[in-house]
Structure 1
Amino acid sequence: MASFSAAVLLLQIFVCFEAVVGAALQKHSNSISPGTSLTPITQPNSWQSPSRRFALGFYQQGSGFLVGIWLVGASQNITVWTANRDYPPVSSNAMLEFTTKGKLLLRTGQSEDRSISTTASASFASMLDSGNFVLYSKDFVVIWQSFDFPTDTILGGQILPNGHSLFSSFSETNHSTGKFRLKMQYDGNLVAYPASTEDISVDAYWTTTLSYRRGCTAYTRCRDTLNPQSHLDLNSSIYLNSNGSLLLINNTDSTTIQSLSHSSHSNNTVVHRATLDIDGNFRLYSHPSVNSEPVIEWKAIDNMCDVKSFCGFNSYCTLNDNKPYCSCIPGADFLDHDQQSTGCERNFTKLTRCKDGKKNEFYDIITMDNLKSEDRPYYEAEMTKDDCSKSCLEDCLCDASISKSGYCMKFMLPLRYIMRQSSGAEYSSSTIFFKVGTKSIRSNNHIPPYPQLVVTTSKKALMIILVLCLSLVTYSCFALAFSGLFIFKHRVLKYRMLLETGSSGLIEEFTLRLYSYNELRKATNGFKEKLGQGSFGTVYRGALYKGKKLIAVKRLEKVVEEGEKEFRAEMRAIGRTRHKNLVRLLGYCAEGSKRLLVYEFMSNGSLADLLFRAQRRPDWTERVRIGLDVARGILYLHEECEAPTLHCDIKPHNILLDEFWTAKISDFGLAKLLMPDQTRTFTQVRGTRGYLAPEWQKNIPITVKVDVYSYGIVLLEIVCCRRNIEVNVLEPEEVVLSNWVYKCFVARELNKLVGGEEVDKKILENMVKVGLWCIQDEPVLRPSMKSVVLMLEGITDIATPPCPTNSSM
């Protein structure tokens, strides 16, 4: 470790020397003193370097502002570094402050402040001509610098050390994390990957010329933890010197291992930068002067179709006049025709139930040559080309297959890495087969002619026709009379039933019916069929109107003060609500000490049964819809009904599913009603362990944010299909769901949460972010349910959540 530290110190000697000298020369003319601040709309809105080539301050992104460093250009400024790049932009009343305590802090103008520097106690700061923003101690020692935290760019004099990565921007105007990353690996190679992948060779699309395969095999992680003492040649970094040479250097002795590009400029006024661009290509640019456009000095990739994930899932790249274009595989269409790099999806419905070899009449095979796929097949065997095509057609799992050199490989969608090969390439002799859907059209081309009637004029024939006509008339009269009697009787009985059930029909939509105890006991067959057990009562299945209307009857078993409060609370809370995501109350019984509630029947049970007890994991799109249904129901209780209502017991057992699998919130026995202008209240602890917000134990006012916390736990359970606390897990860190989710989120390993299930990664990330925001310890950090619904619908951007503190209640 000592030799490694000495090597890194040697690598950074140029940067540190420049910083110290710059401080000594600029302390009086260009230094930034503690207590200095910037705002987005007040000039000056940036701190500039002495040459005015670089500036740090606010730049506009969308309707808001971010803090970053930019290179002043002729036509537009070029952003080279962004602070807190994945946080949402701030408003115009934000402030960037170099505090009196020596810390660089972004005050957002809202409840939270964002730290930019990771240290404090700086005596002064300076924006250097190298593009490096530096904080100094009183002894001119660098205690923090932007060069240590690159985003998508390294500048002249900057290094990218072992284990560090560059991440491309999302777009030219959005500098949040994009689709690609470039990592300086511990195996000595600089390697480019799609951003959402792991460090395995099958995902890499560009690397330096060292032995990249050392320590790596396809579908296995590269050995990033090799012993530096036994592999000193792997202790390397990428260094862009001030002359514009991009070098792979040995950290031990600062010698050059490989030169990626040679400088063509000896003028120190030329600015150089190496950027991982939004298209995934790593390019070296030079900027001769402020008034000149940037010049590409070097680029890693000549053929942009070599960039994996350039075209997204189920699509491949084609060059036309040396420009890359994306095309969908057969049987798929673009997700967004305006942004074709986002990928494609099937344009036909795949059979959910299929028996191998029996449903191939619904599919066809389309053959394409000179394509390859670097995805991992689920099946591989020796097979002829014709047998490979036929085998995929008859295999229910197969969506595509490749035949090459006598081998057949089968794949399932989505396909990530499909590429077109030029003539003479390694895969040019391969053939790929795509399974597409067909529409079965059945037609009758042969219609037998009507038989011809043989007409005679004999008396016998006339007599037969007369008898048939009389019989037909008699039968018709009898049928009309019988039908009239049946219709009359049916209408009379229906009208009589409406009179008997007085509260049905339109009246039932607006009023609660009062039932007698005997009526409900008869409807439930003596409370025979039990549906579930609650905290204050038991729910039974019942039927009214001769079995035509199914109901659920909740009998409160504690009829003393506690049960009476339960009964009155539920009556007040749900009796006045009308929302498709709330279970509807039909009526009640208050006869002596007996208290019963009558609800609409929910035929598909509870969300807990679906998530925790079902034989198979529910479909991802169903889980996404259920999560949004529950959020809309809570939003109605908090903001849209007559009196704001705290449910106080949001959990999967209290979320029921109707015959159309619509999620509805039930069990309002613990609900707390607020006045129309009331936002908080004091009340005793209520709810279920594991879903309780931390403030229940702190003797502080309770707000609607307690429901937001419970919803966050439920949302994470919906995503992962497991309980919040699970003892029977493989790793100890997986016991508490919220802790495990945050660790996977930070490590960019969200695929572990869904067990390899095929899901939309963007929606998965959004749901995880929303869940983590909802379970923050401090109520003020939790979003409102209105914000939750907007974030889940994709209308509002979601900031990166901080680590929640799990109360384990």
Structure 2
Amino acid sequence: MFSFTLHFCLLIPILPLLAVAQTNLNISLGSSLQASDDSPPWHSPSGDFAFGFHRLDNQNLFLLAIWFDKIPDKTLVWYANGDNPAPEGSKVDLTLDGRFILNDPQGRNIWEAPIRERANYAAMLDNGNFVLVNNESGYVWESFQLPADTILPTQVLEVGGKLSSRQKESNFSKGRFQLRLRPDGNLVLNTIALPTQYENDPYYVSHTSDRANTMNSGYLVNFSESGYIYVLGRNGNIANLTSGNIVPARDFYYRATLDYDGVFVQYAHPKAPRNGSSVQSWSPVWSVPKDICAEIQDERSKGACGFNSYCIPDSNLRPACQCLPGFSFSDPNNKFNGCNQDSVQKCEPGAAKPEDLYDMRVLPNTFWPFSENYQMLKPFNEDDCSRSCFNDCNCVVAVFADDDICYKKKLPLSNGMENQNRNGKAFIKIPKSDISSGDQYFPESNREKKDQTTLILVLSLLLGGSVFLNFLLVPAISIVFYGSYQKKQKFNRVPSILETNLRSFTYKYSC
């Protein structure tokens, strides 16, 4: 249902051409910018926004971007080439024939604005919108129609409009989270299966769709100049999405960003220093979803934190990702990209005892509800569950839940989360660090006998031979032992236990 609590003026969408009610600093045909630190950007009349090249951290690569220019951190609000940064020396041209093209130093095309017809000039507007204008038909292209991960006051999203997260804080390639306005009128957040654009089930829905009466359904998302974000229905009704206190827009900058961790956040930043402090930062006003760790409920998705990890909401209910014991982040610089096993070893019946090879670790209240089970055991208590996994060559993770059920999980695990509102335990079997890959096939007693036999043979040769022969034998034996050690170090690990899982069965499960 739609709410009528907002001021009547919010009923009127902000039309693009009305946003030009300002003194523009027009950019004429033939103008260009170069990707370098010495090339000054194009500014909006107020100086609040700048359009130009933004250098990526410690790299000779640049984004063609728009940013807040009067605040210290120069926060980006739009960028064109996140998947294909421009090398230093690249150039963007507003050509004499009215096109807007970004080329690398060799003249190869990196990006081009998809204009509808020839532009006569360009302008950076005070609302953060960069526009290409035809004298007769108005805007032929604008950055507001092709947003990256952020929307600004006076900006709208129409049906089919979307925001895409970046991959991480400093990587502007398209990430796996998406915000979009669906044809049914719902504003949703969902993950996508990169590198494809396949859209998984939403983990947030605005509930602004009415199947019984489509006129009640949303068709436009508007970020009002006063700082409210709402969904406008076809009948003029509105649903306000903004929660929390909205401070006067005249004193604060606003932006709403789909962050790289999948949370959609509206931020505010003071325009001038406050309380005598010259250091200012963005403060969250509101966000959705409230707990992304628990809200992503799609068996086709790998969850908020990626495979073989689990998600813990921090004090601000933002996702913090952790690897399972015995696993490490696949990309230490991106903890949302999942984890890999540190060491994979195969146990075989009749070889060393499991307790000689493995330890068990326990994670309380940790679950992977949509990861596939290869075995479900019931009735089982938690000791039975731990023991069964420990003695099962194929088991790496088992989850005890629902008081009497043990779920043995297939790898990789997905949608991991810590849920303090639900009782249960996860048991993780990890190789002991002091077990080498070659020794696991020899029972301890056999290894000791083998080592003792070798030692006796060496001592016998040394004591029984002449001094001259000892001088020859010592280097020779050293070489033999060194070669044996090198061979042992190069011993290939056995196949992953991922290849030895039992045949899959289907069960109803909930952890």
Shift of 1:47: 1.7
Q: TM-score, normalised by structure 2?
A: 0.69
Aligned to 2:221: 238
Aligned to 1:16: 16
What percent identity do the matched residue pairs reach? 30
**Any idea what the Cα deviations from partners look like across 1:221-262, whole Å, max 9, x if unmatched?**
xxxxxxx89755554443211111021332x23421343336
Aligned to 2:54: 59
Q: Which has the higher contact order (CA 8 A, sep 6+)?
A: 2
Aligned to 2:159: 162
Residues 455-470 of structure 1 aligned to structure 2 (within 5 Å): none
Q: Secondary structure at the match of 2:199?
A: coil
Cα 1:135–1:286 shift into 2, 3 Å? same
Shift of 1:59: 1.6
* Residue identity in the other structure for 2:160: G
Aligned to 1:419: 417
Shift of 1:299: 2.2
Contact 2:127 2:152 in 1 (8 A): yes
Which has more strand, going by share of residues?
Answer: 2
Residues 43-192 of structure 1 aligned to structure 2 (within 5 Å): 45-61=40-56, 62-92=59-89, 94-119=90-115, 120-192=117-189
Cα 1:365–1:148 shift into 2, 3 Å? same
Residues 624-703 of structure 1 aligned to structure 2 (within 5 Å): none
* Residue identity in the other structure for 1:411: K
* Residue identity in the other structure for 1:245: Y
Q: Distance in 2 between matches of 1:446 and 1:90?
A: 61
Contact 1:239 1:249 in 2 (8 A): yes
Contact 2:17 2:138 in 1 (8 A): no
Q: Secondary structure at the match of 1:45?
A: coil
Q: Which runs of 5+ in 2 are unaligned?
A: 1-9, 274-279, 297-302, 450-494, 497-511
**Any idea what the Cα deviations from partners look like across 1:457-483, whole Å, max 9, x if unmatched?**
xxxxxxxxxxxxxxxxxxxxxxxxxxx
Q: Secondary structure at the match of 1:14?
A: coil
Of residues 275, 288, 299, the one that matches 2:287 is 299
Cα 1:244–1:287 shift into 2, 3 Å? same
Contact 2:261 2:319 in 1 (8 A): no
Contact 1:245 1:263 in 2 (8 A): no
Cα 1:401–1:190 shift into 2, 3 Å? farther
Residues 376-775 of structure 1 aligned to structure 2 (within 5 Å): 376-379=371-374, 381=376, 383-386=378-381, 388-389=385-386, 392-393=389-390, 397-405=394-402, 406-422=404-420, 425=421, 428-437=422-431, 439=435, 442-443=444-445
Contact 2:29 2:94 in 1 (8 A): yes
* Residue identity in the other structure for 2:167: F
Cα 1:269–1:51 shift into 2, 3 Å? farther
Alignment partner of 1:347 is 2:349: no
Aligned to 2:490: none
Q: Secondary structure at the match of 2:27?
A: coil
Contact 1:281 1:307 in 2 (8 A): no
Q: Distance in 1 between matches of 2:222 and 2:343?
A: 50
Q: Distance in 2 between matches of 1:401 and 1:249?
A: 47
**Any idea what the Cα deviations from partners look like across 1:292-317, whole Å, max 9, x if unmatched?**
54332222255575586554432224
Residues 267-278 of structure 1 aligned to structure 2 (within 5 Å): 267-268=249-250, 270-278=252-260
Aligned to 1:682: none
Cα 1:337–1:54 shift into 2, 3 Å? closer
**Any idea what the Cα deviations from partners look like across 1:328-387, whole Å, max 9, x if unmatched?**
213323445566554432233243x96899996755654432111133324464612345
Shift of 1:435: 3.2
Aligned to 1:265: 247
* Residue identity in the other structure for 1:282: F
Cα 1:431–1:97 shift into 2, 3 Å? same
Which has more helix, going by share of residues?
Answer: 1
Alignment partner of 1:33 is 2:21: no
Contact 1:167 1:195 in 2 (8 A): no
Contact 2:84 2:110 in 1 (8 A): no
Contact 1:358 1:394 in 2 (8 A): no
* Residue identity in the other structure for 1:143: V
Alignment partner of 1:282 is 2:280: no
Shift of 1:82: 0.4
**Any idea what the Cα deviations from partners look like across 1:181-225, whole Å, max 9, x if unmatched?**
333334544333445364334xx5x4145299x9xxxxxxxxxxx
Shift of 1:288: 3.6
Cα 1:140–1:35 shift into 2, 3 Å? same
Aligned to 1:673: none
Q: Distance in 1 between matches of 2:418 and 2:68?
A: 38
Cα 1:327–1:66 shift into 2, 3 Å? closer
Q: Secondary structure at the match of 2:86?
A: coil
* Residue identity in the other structure for 1:112: R
Q: Distance in 2 between matches of 1:444 and 1:396?
A: 22
Q: Distance in 2 between matches of 1:193 and 1:209?
A: 12
Q: TM-score, normalised by structure 1?
A: 0.45
Contact 1:72 1:290 in 2 (8 A): no
Shift of 1:54: 0.9
* Residue identity in the other structure for 1:104: F
Q: Secondary structure at the match of 1:170?
A: strand
**Any idea what the Cα deviations from partners look like across 1:430-479, whole Å, max 9, x if unmatched?**
232323335466248999xxxxxxxxxxxxxxxxxxxxxxxxxxxxxxxx
Q: Distance in 1 between matches of 2:407 and 2:128?
A: 51
Aligned to 1:785: none
Shift of 1:67: 0.8
Cα 1:359–1:183 shift into 2, 3 Å? farther
Size of the aligned set, in residue pairs, is 412
Contact 1:317 1:325 in 2 (8 A): yes
Q: Distance in 2 between matches of 1:306 and 1:172?
A: 23
* Residue identity in the other structure for 2:344: T
Aligned to 1:374: 369
* Residue identity in the other structure for 1:421: N
